[in-house]
Amino acid sequence: MKRNNVIFTLGAFLVLLAGFFAPSIVTNPFYFFAGYVVVQYIVIATGWNVLGGYAGYINFGAAAFFGSGVYLSAFLFNTFGVPLWIGIIAAAALGALLGLAMGYLTLQIQGVYFAIATLGLVIVLETIVHNLPGLGGARGMAVYGPAPPAWSGGPVQYVFFVILIIAVACVALARWIEHSWIGRGLRAVRASEDAAECSGVPTLKLKLVACSISGAMLAAAGAPYPFYTNFIEPVTAFSLLIGLNAIAMPLIGGTRSWAGPIIGAIVLASAQQIATVTISSELNILFVGVVLIAFVALAPNGLLGLAKRKSAGASK
């Protein structure tokens, strides 16, 4: 375990280093535009998986958390000129609160109700934003960020590096949770809530912790988004595709380990980035929906599960 920690830390450091120096090697900004989306989905998938994968509580409303992060950081910047990094922290705090509230309202009953409630959260928040002129209403609002720091090589390169830092932080946190007593408790909850409770695990408290952490990550994923697009509107911030991808990516990669969401996000988001050039967003959703159904029906443990089964079969 110790050696793995060293390797992980080294890997994370290398990823950040590569992200920092990439602008001086890669000159075409398109790669940063596309890369931003892929990395953003790593954060979303990782955040979703803390609750959905480890504890087995499905959140259909990832877009609600993402969207509130988008709107909070945009609002704070446009109104008070709050810098991005504070916006990210504020978004994470809001997401944690939102997750806590949702969990508190629904987790005492059953997982189904939590899932259904999260479906609704997107529409409630979208309705609120629609009706608040201060947030641009249905028309949306423009966000013109400050000039990026000189070392960053440009605005896109800058937000790419920011989302990369968020991703590394979230993955490290998710990995830590997975290997700690929290992760073990959550997996016990997923396996049998009654048995966990009778083994001394405070299941409700643990689920609330997972809800808050997951909510914080999902909202943090949205915070840099206004500075990436320079324009936000309810339809894109609370997009159906975000909620769908948040579930599909961990399921495709594998929900049991931190690497699963990363694999799923890279595979699916890259495919989508390449495909958007050629296909419509409707076809995109259709594609993800079909892939999601296929994995739920045929490979509930994702690509990592398939690989594990294959290697187990080979060793026999």
Which alpha helices (H) appear in 81-202, and where do they start and end? 84-106, 111-130, 155-179, 181-191, 193-198
Residue 264: left (phi > 0), alpha (psi -120 to 50), or beta?
A: alpha
Q: What whole-number distance in Å separates Cα of residue 296 and Cα of residue 316?
A: 27
Show the binding pattern over residues 230-249: x = contacts another protein (CB under 8 A), - = does not.
----------x---x--xx-
Q: Does 106 bind another protein (CB under 8 A)?
A: yes
Task: Out of 43, 45, 88, 251, name the contact with another protein by CB under 8 A.
Answer: 251
Q: Does 279 bind another protein (CB under 8 A)?
A: no
Look at residues 282, 293, 257 and name the one whose alpha carbon lies nearest to residue 45. Answer: 257
Beta carbon of residue 81, minimum distance to another protein (angstroms, whole number): 30
Beta carbon of residue 94, minimum distance to another protein (angstroms, whole number): 17
Question: Among residues 115 and 165, whose Cβ is nearest to another protein?
Answer: 115
Q: What whole-number distance in Å separates Cα of residue 184 and Cα of residue 212?
A: 17
Counting every residue, how long is the chain? 316
Phi, psi of 117 (to 5 degrees): -60, -35
Look at residues 172, 133, 139, 142 and name the one whose alpha carbon lies nearest to residue 4. Answer: 172
Phi, psi of 193 (to 5 degrees): -65, -40
Question: Among residues 41 and 114, whose Cβ is nearest to another protein?
Answer: 114
Q: What whole-number distance in Å separates Cα of residue 280 and Cα of residue 277?
A: 8
Question: Among residues 25 and 194, whose Cβ is nearest to another protein?
Answer: 194
Burial environment of residue 294 by CB neighbours within 10 A (0 to 12, 13 to 18, 19 or more):
exposed
Beta carbon of residue 307, minimum distance to another protein (angstroms, whole number): 16
Of residues 7 through 36, those in contact with another protein by CB under 8 A are none
Task: Out of 41, 60, 228, 258, name the contact with another protein by CB under 8 A.
Answer: 60
Question: Among residues 135 and 201, whose Cβ is nearest to another protein?
Answer: 201
Contacts 24+ apart (CB under 8 A), 148-152: 152/23
Question: Among residues 119 and 259, whose Cβ is nearest to another protein?
Answer: 119
Q: Does 184 bind another protein (CB under 8 A)?
A: yes
Beta carbon of residue 256, minimum distance to another protein (angstroms, whole number): 7
Beta carbon of residue 64, minimum distance to another protein (angstroms, whole number): 11
Task: Name every residue whose Cβ is closer than 8 Å to that of residue 224 and which is 6 or more positions away in sequence.
Answer: 40, 73, 84, 88, 159, 162, 163, 166
Of residues 187 through 226, those in contact with another protein by CB under 8 A are 187-188, 190-204
Q: How many residues bind another protein (CB under 8 A)?
A: 63
Residue ranges that bind another protein, judged by CB under 8 A: 56-58, 60, 104-106, 108-113, 115-117, 119-121, 123-124, 127-128, 130-131, 181, 184-185, 187-188, 190-204, 240, 244, 247-248, 251, 256, 282-283, 285-286, 288-290, 292-293, 296-297, 300
